[in-house]
Amino acid sequence: MSTPGDNVSIHTLNIHPTAVVHPEAKIGRDVEIGPYCLVGRHASIGDGTKLLAHVVVQGHTTIGQENVIYPFAVVGGTSQDKKFRGEVSFVNVGDRNQIREYVTIHRGTDAGTSTTIGSDCHLLAYVHIAHDCHVGDRVIMSNLTQLAGHCTVGEGANISGMVGVHQFVRIGRLAFIGGRSKILKDCPPFMLVEGNPAWVRGLNRVGLKRQGVSPQALSELKEAYRTIYAGDETLSSAIERLRAHVTTDEGKELVAFFQNGSQRGFTTQATRRGRGAPASEPEEEPALD
């Protein structure tokens, strides 16, 4: 068995005898490393983090403080991109995350690139976060959700179970994605999205109220939703008209999401596809699977 070097005092460690920890790994105070864990040479694990059992931490991976990582998770695995040639790339994980069983988080593909996870996230069993993804703070990803490479998930987004997300897709802040959805295009912030392929059902009003979004912002977002998805004008003209009228931070954020452009295009509303869905948003978000 390898044990950590002199980077920490031995009394701060709780390493199971069956764990294998490279002597050059950086291990913080009060870290717990359970049975059969494997911690690689370039790993850095922050104070109070717990690796419960059978956890693998590979590559140039930095894990913050007070995370709990459950059995058979792999953090810092090599990119599955066919262009990957062994370059030095990174995974950076924030603080106080719950990373459940069999979660896989892969590092970036090109030299110097990173996959990043914020703080206070819940990544449930069998979640996969591919190379070069960026996940914000307080994100929930339910069981079997899979992010392909180069995806971005905004702060506070809630992604239900068995959701597949295409590479280069952006999911905006405080968006809610319904279970078993197929996400091929960008999902704007504050919206409730579901389906295969996905469509915008309305505002994520429950999530917005839980986050304390002001009544003024809610009203402005509701009007913006109607302008973008229920009107007859083109998306570009709708966004241009909204840009001149929004006053709240949330309204400006929604407009900026569209103005920043997209590699995948934007998820549309069902009525614009002739599917006959109502133009008004539902009263409640669907339950997590």
Q: Give the β-pairing of 191-195 and 176-177.
A: parallel
Catalytic residue chosen out of the listed positions 81, 95, 132, 186: 132
CA nearest 143: which of 129, 165, 169, 163?
Answer: 163
CA separation for the pair 205, 276 (Å, rounded): 22
The active-site residue out of 28, 76, 77, 149 is 149
Give the span between the Cα atoms of 50 and 35, in whole angstroms: 11
Looking at residue 69, its amino acid is: I
Question: Phi, psi (5° rounding) for residue 186?
Answer: -60, 140
Alpha carbon distance 236, 242 (integer Å): 10
Residue 64 a catalytic site member: no
| Burial 78-108, CB ≥16 within 10 A → b, else e | ebebeebeeeebbbbbbbbbebbbbbbbbbb
- Looking at 196-250, which runs of residues are DSSP E strands? 198-203
User: Which residues sit opposite 14 in a β-bridge?
Assistant: 32
What count of residues does the chain have? 289
Catalytic, 132? Answer: yes
Is 166 catalytic? The answer is no
Among the listed residues 54, 106, 131, 134, the single catalytic one is: 131
- Which residues are designated catalytic? 131-132, 149
